[in-house]
Amino acid sequence: MIIHEPLDFWSCSGEILSRLHRGGVLCSVIDQLGRPNLITLGWGLIGPFYHGHPVLAIAVTPDRFSWHALEEVPEFTIAVPDDALAEAVAFCGKRSGRDVDKFKATKLTPVPGQQVRSFAVLECPINLECRTYTRVHPPHLLLTPEHRQKDLEHQHTIYFAEVLAAYRCRTG
């Protein structure tokens, strides 16, 4: 049995930002056929939002396999790793879901979402269920000068999402 232990988002916010900055976090996506994938992300913003939920923004380029899932299903789970998962996070940041099932390859355990279709990751100490409420297509000025020089079709789409739940999973 999986037990979801609720976490206070703001108590975790320092760790979320720190992991984004150092090695990245996992973003778990799902396409309209129900196929899950994991992508490592280092670009992220968090902050308070007037709806009451925290807001989290991620940036994903259309070159990524995960981008197609994010376009099809406007829900994702941010799974914040610890040091023990560094290898799995690096793997998800260099291999594509086009070629490999990353949950199987990394032996990470998918846990069905409570309010979203994407899976949480059992081994990650923080999981954030997110629902996209708007996305910004390029051209935009939020990315680095290096990224802004790329052709428009290769520039990141920025997804703004409400954080619906924050928790840690464990088996009981």
Binding residues for ligand FMN, rule: CB under 6 A, are: 23-24, 37, 39-43, 59-61, 64-66, 93-98
Closer CB to ligand FMN, 44 or 113, in the complex? 44
Of all residues in the shown chain, the one whose CB is closest to ligand FMN is: 93
Closer CB to ligand FMN, 12 or 59, in the complex? 59
In angstroms, give the least distance from the CB of 75 to ligand FMN. 16
In angstroms, give the least distance from the CB of 115 to ligand FMN. 23
DSSP 8-state class, residue 85: G
| Rounded distance between C-alpha atoms, residue 11 and residue 90, angstroms | 26
Closer CB to ligand FMN, 66 or 106, in the complex? 66
In angstroms, give the least distance from the CB of 71 to ligand FMN. 12
Q: Cα separations (Å) of 165 from 12, 31, 120, 139?
A: 12, 21, 11, 31
| Rounded distance between C-alpha atoms, residue 33 and residue 69, angstroms | 9
Closer CB to ligand FMN, 127 or 157, in the complex? 157
| Rounded distance between C-alpha atoms, residue 69 and residue 76, angstroms | 9
Whether 120 and 71 have beta carbons less than 8 Å apart is answered as no
In angstroms, give the least distance from the CB of 1 to ligand FMN. 30
DSSP 8-state class, residue 100: -
